[in-house]
Amino acid sequence: MRADRLVAALLLMQARGRVSAAEVAAELEVSVATARRDLEALSAAGIPVYPQRGRGGGWSLVGGARTDLTGLSAVEARALFLLIGPSAASPEAKAALRKLVRALPATFRADAEAAAAAVAVDPTPWGERDRERSPLVGRLQDAVVRRERIRIGYTDRTRQRGERVVDPWGLVDKDDVWYLIAGTSKGRRTFRVDRISGVVATGEAAERPADFAVGEAWREVVGDVERRRSRTWATVGIAPRFVPILRDHFGRHCHVDDPDAARVRVGAPTPLDIARQLAGWGDAVEVLEPEPVRAELARIGAELSARYG
């Protein structure tokens, strides 16, 4: 797990004073590229980790080696927990987080624990990926931790732009597509971060239910979305070598019923939605059922033939 590696890399720097990406890779049994990304992630998150170029260079903590984490500032501690908290799914990573919290000065612990609980990770895509992480993610994370009411500019699914005043409750990283779960005057709402155009603090304290847990709230959101997105299912025959591509295309809405026969079920809101996504596969796929999806494919094929035939 990445959380384990980040903690281990930080402790390795504390023990040795300065390390190279190759040394971290060898110690953690990962590639040099992975080790370098982890070190860069620590630095980008605000942890006092900096590279030194040239002969004898490497990565080190500002101020030299430390034996514990009590030298971290409040901002640095919060940044560390924002970074590693979401990926701490394994028992070992959670144990490491608990140890890190105990090592922090008491005045920092509340912020660190809040940061670790501010973000949830859902690695399963919805058939799409964001181009790059929004620069507003860090600002939103900070607002969640500080319980700070904010005003956001937002463009909804109908391309209507407006401003919303929200209480930020938590963030979700869904395969590099970020979502904000927030309280509004109309109840809990979910906002896609790449549709947020700006974040402004109102100076007011945000309200958040005492029993709110971002992971549990996201499972409810996913359940609602899945029910809307998968009202129609089709059974498809496809060559086994193409199954991973189809799965990547449909994401969570692709179930492999029989790997040997390469029978796959794919879901979408309507028969037309499924037909549109499968039409580009030509005869590489065969829709076995239901008939409405086959009819939509036949209609699309006739339209294409009429125009280009």
73 occurs within a structural domain: yes
CATH for 49: 1.10.10
Shared domain for 157 and 206, answered yes or no, is: yes
CATH for 189: 2.30.30
Sorting pLDDT into bands at 50, 70 and 90, what band is 216?
A: confident
CA separation for the pair 288, 306 (Å, rounded): 25
237 occurs within a structural domain: yes
Summarize the confidence of residues 169-194 as an average pLDDT.
88
Share of the chain above pLDDT 90, in %: 27
27 occurs within a structural domain: yes
Cα dist. 170→1, 81, 87, 129 in Å? Answer: 22, 14, 15, 20
Q: Final residue of a domain: which of 82, 116, 150? A: 116
Please give the residue that has the higher pLDDT: either 4 or 303: 303
Query: Tell me: the pLDDT tens digits for 138-179?
Result: 788 888 878 899 999 999 888 889 999 999 998 887 777 889
What pLDDT, on the 0 to 100 scale, is given for residue 66?
Answer: 46
For the cut 70, the answer to whether the pLDDT of residue 308 exceeds it is yes
Shared domain for 205 and 234, answered yes or no, is: no
What pLDDT, on the 0 to 100 scale, is given for residue 45?
Answer: 63
- What order do you get walking across the sheet with 18-19 strand by strand? 18-19, 58-61, 49-52
Shared domain for 302 and 269, answered yes or no, is: yes
Segment of 2-11, 47-56, 217-226 carrying the highest mean pLDDT: 217-226
101 occurs within a structural domain: yes
260 occurs within a structural domain: yes
80 occurs within a structural domain: yes
Query: Tell me: the pLDDT tens digits for 77-114?
Result: 555 555 555 555 555 555 555 555 555 555 555 555 55
CA separation for the pair 162, 139 (Å, rounded): 19
Shared domain for 183 and 248, answered yes or no, is: no
CA separation for the pair 125, 76 (Å, rounded): 31
The two tokens of residue 90 are 């394994």
Question: Which DSSP helix (H) or strand (E) runs through 285?
Answer: strand 285-289
Residues 6+ away with beta carbon under 8 Å from 99: none
Shared domain for 15 and 109, answered yes or no, is: yes
Shared domain for 165 and 80, answered yes or no, is: no
What pLDDT, on the 0 to 100 scale, is given for residue 65?
Answer: 39
Sorting pLDDT into bands at 50, 70 and 90, what band is 17?
A: confident
Shared domain for 246 and 157, answered yes or no, is: no
Host domain of residue 76: 2-116
239 occurs within a structural domain: yes
Q: How many CB atoms lie under 10 A from the CB of residue 42?
A: 23
Shared domain for 27 and 108, answered yes or no, is: yes
Number of domains in the chain: 3
Shared domain for 14 and 63, answered yes or no, is: yes
What pLDDT, on the 0 to 100 scale, is given for residue 67?
Answer: 39
CATH for 282: 3.30.70
CA separation for the pair 71, 57 (Å, rounded): 23
225 occurs within a structural domain: no
Q: Final residue of a domain: which of 159, 181, 214? A: 214
At 138, the amino acid letter reads: G
Query: Tell me: the pLDDT tens digits for 29-87?
Result: 888 888 888 888 777 666 677 787 766 678 887 654 343 455 555 555 555 555 555 55
Share of the chain above pLDDT 70, in %: 70
